[in-house]
Amino acid sequence: MSEKIIVFTDQRAQAAYVPDVLQAPTGSLRDRLDRPLHDLRISVTDRCNFRCVYCMPKEVFDKDYSYLPHSSLLSFEEITRIAQVFIEHGVEKLRLTGGEPLLRKNIEKLIAMLAQLKTVHGKPLDLTLTTNGSLLARKAQALKDAGLQRVTVSLDAMDDAVFKRMNDVDFAVSDVLQGLDAAHKAGLGPIKVNMVVKGGMNDQEILPMARYFKGSPFILRFIEYMDVGASNGWKLDEVVPSAEVARRIGAEMPIEPVSANYTGETAERWRYLDGGGEIGLISSVTQAFCKDCSRARLSTEGKLYTCLFATRGHDLRALLRSGASDAEISGAVSHLWQARGDRYSELRTSQTSLPASARKVEMSYIGG
């Protein structure tokens, strides 16, 4: 009998440390490797209606799996308050994620609250959301009306049978395509489509996906299958390197690299020589991009992670719910960011063999 994997949702997080001397935020916080704090990813739920094999495998996330109780979740007011603190430290981009963020009840209300916030330079934030697309056809217009600027939609295959094997809940490709269409019509662009490539599962879909999205309003990005969490049974030989993705596409539809839009962009951009648009390659495994990583992650229950592969978070909710002032929360955030030296992907080869890697938090908990 196989051993049951217990999913680690970080019960060890400690209340974030508040320094004795509180300094006013400067809007340009830097970590130990001189990386700014530019991007906050907020997980709004740990639940999902898909069971993607690389993220929430059915054997682990089964009917007995206990999700967080509603009282553990940050409220919309708490999320907005924390977001404001991060903005004062220089954050310009907020991404809502999960689990499946569109499953969070009244998500439009949260979006409307976040859409009111402005960067330290008085500009609108880059407010976006990553979704599996299952509820997008129904919700796209309401999301736009609430103030969402754009969406990223995950889709792992054009072939229904392959897609259903990936999402493991029998969800059809055509329903995601309808969601994409609705998002496009609502003006939630530029829309990116993320395909996680798992060797031996969906890599035969690289070309059909590239053909379908070439010349469309959507930017297709290929993501290397990552060793996030501890439940997906990740193996290095199931990673299809981005270089191989580029080789396969280029052999049929010639492409060339394009320079990055901004420092810290996760995807390497390539364009079709015939003017058919662009694709992105996210090489988290074969070409680590920790050097420019400016992302912090807030879990569903308010723990702050300074790396996707962190083994421990820092409890901001404990501060919020014990009456801490904004200045104290801000002090805790600057202390954490200034102490940050994470560069897991750069060190991956030596770390994945360590037992400690089995205690990494799950992607559905921390937010992708």
Chain residues in the site for ligand SF4 (CB under 6 A): 48, 50-52, 55-56, 98-100, 132, 154, 288-290, 293, 295, 307-309, 342-345, 364
Mask 102-141, x = binds ligand SAM (CB under 6 A)?
----------------------------xxx---------
Q: Assess contact for 267 and 289: CB atoms under 8 A.
A: no
Which partner from the list ligand SF4, ligand SAM, none does 45 bind, CB cut-off 5 to 8 Å by kind? none
| Residue 22 identity (one-letter amino acid) | L
- How many Å apart are CA 298 and CA 296, to the nearest integer? 7
Least Å distance, CB 107 to ligand SF4, is 15
* Residue 352 lies near ligand SAM (rule: CB under 6 A): no
Q: Assess contact for 43 and 343: CB atoms under 8 A.
A: no
Among 54, 76, 272, 305, binds ligand SAM (CB under 6 A): 54
* Other CB atoms within 10 Å distance of the CB of residue 356: 10
Paired strand residues for 154: 194
Among 45, 97, 149, 299, binds ligand SAM (CB under 6 A): 97
Least Å distance, CB 55 to ligand SF4, is 3
Least Å distance, CB 95 to ligand SF4, is 13
Binding site annotation covers 253?
Answer: no
Which partner from the list ligand SF4, ligand SAM, none does 223 bind, CB cut-off 5 to 8 Å by kind? ligand SAM
* Four-point Cα dihedral 20, 23, 25, 29, nearest 10: -80
Q: Which is nearer to ligand SAM, 40 or 329 (CB)?
A: 40
Among 29, 44, 55, 148, binds ligand SAM (CB under 6 A): 55
Taking the mean position of all CA atoms in its chain, how far away is CA 277? Answer: 24
Q: Which is nearer to ligand SAM, 196 or 329 (CB)?
A: 196
Q: Which is nearer to ligand SF4, 22 or 288 (CB)?
A: 288
Mask 199-228, x = binds ligand SAM (CB under 6 A)?
------------------------x-xx-x
* Four-point Cα dihedral 181, 186, 190, 191, nearest 10: -40
* Other CB atoms within 10 Å distance of the CB of residue 16: 23
Which span sits near ligand SAM by CB under 6 A: 95-103, 167-175, 204-212, 334-342? 95-103
- How many Å apart are CA 76 and CA 47, to the nearest integer? 17
Provide the token pair at 16: 């974030």
Q: Quick one: which of 176, 175, 116 has its CA closest to 152?
A: 176
Which span sits near ligand SAM by CB under 6 A: 93-101, 269-277, 288-296, 322-330? 93-101
As annotated, the binding site includes: 41, 48, 52, 54-55, 95, 99, 130, 154, 192, 226, 290, 293, 295-297, 307
As annotated, the binding site for [4Fe-4S] cluster includes: 48, 52, 55, 290, 293, 307
Site residues, ligand SAM (CB under 6 A)? 48, 54-55, 97-98, 100, 130-132, 154, 194, 196, 223, 225-226, 228, 232, 363-364, 368
